[in-house]
Amino acid sequence: MKNAVFYSLAAAYAEEKGAACIIGGHNADDRRLFDDTSDEFFASLQKAITASSPRLRRRGLKILRPLKDKSKPEVVALAAGIGVPLELTWSCHRSGQEHCWRCDGCRRRAEAFQAAGVPDPLASKKV
């Protein structure tokens, strides 16, 4: 459900800034866990967003999900391989200045880094 809100905000921003696409980072593991990361959800959402804005419709706004078929460990390995500053990524589902390392997002992050064989630069900050 929350992705409907996030992508609506992104669409409003795209409309004002002249963007032609919105890029989401959902992976195949997310698609198994959350209904609002499914292909059906995004097809409906894109239709609703473009129906609501002549500017986005003229621009042919697309919601792109280039990682949707990759597992979370594959995404971690890809990110590490292309030099993504992993210390700047955020996985925690709770608010705060640091990852909690107890929520589902933090647990899945730790599992993915371990499965990918990539050291998590934030792991040293575990409390």
Identify the helix (H) or strand (E) that includes residue 64: strand 62-64
Q: 117: left (phi > 0), else alpha (psi -120 to 50), else beta?
A: left
Find the shortest distance in angstroms from Cβ 13 to Zn ion.
26
- CB 77 within 8 Å of CB 27: no
What's the Rg (C-alpha) of the chain?
A: 16
Q: Which residue in 14, 49, 106, 112 binds Zn ion (CB under 5 A)?
A: 106
Find the shortest distance in angstroms from Cβ 120 to Zn ion.
13
Map the footprint of Zn ion across residues 73-92, applying CB under 5 A: 92
Dihedral in degrees, nearest 10, Cα atoms 56, 57, 58, 63 = 60
Q: Which stretch binds Zn ion (CB under 5 A): 28-36, 42-50, 79-87, 106-114?
A: 106-114
Question: How many Cβ atoms sit within 10 Å of the Cβ of residue 61?
Answer: 20
Q: Which residue in 19, 103, 110, 115 binds Zn ion (CB under 5 A)?
A: 103
**Distance of alpha carbon 76 from alpha carbon 115, whole angstroms:** 9
Find the shortest distance in angstroms from Cβ 47 to Zn ion.
33
Binding status of residue 110 toward Zn ion by CB under 5 A: no
Show the binding pattern over residues 31-70: x = contacts Zn ion (CB under 5 A), - = does not: ----------------------------------------
The residues that touch Zn ion, with contacts defined as CB under 5 A, are: 92, 100, 103, 106
